[in-house]
Amino acid sequence: MPAWTDEIEIAYDFGHLYVLDGAGHWSDAPARVDLRMPHVGEFGVPVAIEGYNAKPALDLAAWDHVAEFSLRVVSDSLAFASGGVGAVRVGIANGAYRARWSARRSGAYRFQLWPGPPAAPRAELKRPAELAGELGDIPALLHDEGVQAVGAVAGTRVRGDALQLYVRLGAWKDRVWNRTLRCDGAVRWQATSEAFTSACLHAEHPGLLPYADERGGLSFNGVPPEPDRFVAALRAAHHEEAGAHIAFEEGGLAERLAVGYGRLASGPVTLLRRYAHVAGDHGVATNLTVTGPGRGGLTLLELGDTYVVAERFSIVET
């Protein structure tokens, strides 16, 4: 039985909740414990807090995520904090503790605390598979108005299909954070040294079309009344749908349109359907043929002008 109990409501963002001494700020690693959360962000989340005189019994079966870690309290309080939202503080006597975080996908959370070593290794006793890949605290450092960080890619390293991005974030008062992002199964990337102020992972993005979308071919039949306007409309639709991630196929297009039939384009089916819509508006009939499936499991990382298409993204611990 716990020696004492309490209940609080917390808020978190970017899929992370940090536990640390109440006098610190969530960005002050390594004096914090990073808890991955099942959703990107939530407010008004209830957490049951239980204090023990000795290590409590373990009940893994009742929870989806269970982690144990050490804490040192020096300000008579613990803070539960996250980037972009206010910290919630709980009065805790100063000392060294071991803690256990337990979570269910349904939204139930429990924080258990007992006297223990101040620097024992963290133990992930049970971890859901959906918490496998992410960007760490990079999005929060960029977003939090109390930090106001700006990032830049300081370097890259390639090993097979694994790409590492060396990211440097700087903020006021000469604060600096260095992070290494590992991109496994990278199929395309472009890295620049330009500053960026946001970091996003996209499951849907024009840069994914060449890989994740079905492949196909689009044939046409009919001469457009105004070929130049037709090509301009195709080019505009292409830019809106794919941006600079796919080159617009213009070579020989004018000659084929003059003949009045043939191949209009090949590539991602989403883009070809957009072409077909434009063609219909200009009195040109089309026929779409799907030639192959897309590749699943790809995500696009966007850091300003830097982007990476890969299977998995993770922070390399240093």
| Residue 87 shares a structural domain with residue 147 | no
pLDDT > 70 fraction of the chain, expressed in percent and rounded: 98
Same domain, yes or no: 307 and 186: yes
Q: Are residues 161 and 12 in the same domain?
A: no
* Number of domain units in the chain: 3
Q: In the prediction, which pLDDT does 131 show?
A: 56
> 39 with 120, same domain?
yes
Which helix (H) or strand (E) element contains residue 237? helix 227-242
In a domain, 204, yes or no: no
| Residue 87, CA distances (Å) to 12, 55, 80 in order | 9, 27, 5
Q: How confident is the model at residue 133, as a pLDDT?
A: 59
User: Is residue 157 included in any domain, yes or no?
Assistant: yes
Model pLDDT for residues 77-136, shown as the tens digit of each residue: 999 999 888 899 999 999 999 999 999 988 899 999 999 998 889 999 998 766 545 899
Q: Which pLDDT value is given to residue 30?
A: 81
How far is the C-alpha of 21 from the C-alpha of 74, rounded, in Å? 7
CA-CA distance, 304 to 152, in Å (whole number)? Answer: 9
Based on the domain organization, do 22 and 108 belong to the same domain?
yes
Residue 42 sits in a domain of what CATH number? 2.60.34.30
Instruction: Identify the segments of the chain with pLDDT beneath 70.
Output: 129-133, 318
Q: pLDDT value at position 99?
A: 97
- Summarised one tens digit per residue, pLDDT across range 175-187 is 999 999 999 999 9
| Same domain, residue pair 109 and 30 | yes
Residue 207 in any domain: the answer is no
Which residues does 174 contact at the CB level (< 8 Å), separation at least 6? none
Same domain, 305 and 176: yes
**CA separation (Å) from 106 to 35, 64, 99?**
17, 9, 22
Q: Could you tell me if 124 and 33 lie in one domain?
A: yes
Are 21 and 124 in a shared domain?
A: yes
- CB crowding 154-176: b at 16 or more within 10 Å, else e: eeeeeeeeebbbbbebbbeeeee
Residue 206 falls inside a structural domain: no
Q: Are residues 151 and 219 in the same domain?
A: no
Q: Which domain holds residue 114?
A: 4-131
What is the DSSP secondary structure assignment for residue 97, as one 8-state letter? E
User: So what's the pLDDT on residue 183?
Assistant: 96
Domain identity same for 163 and 225: no
Same domain, 310 and 172: yes
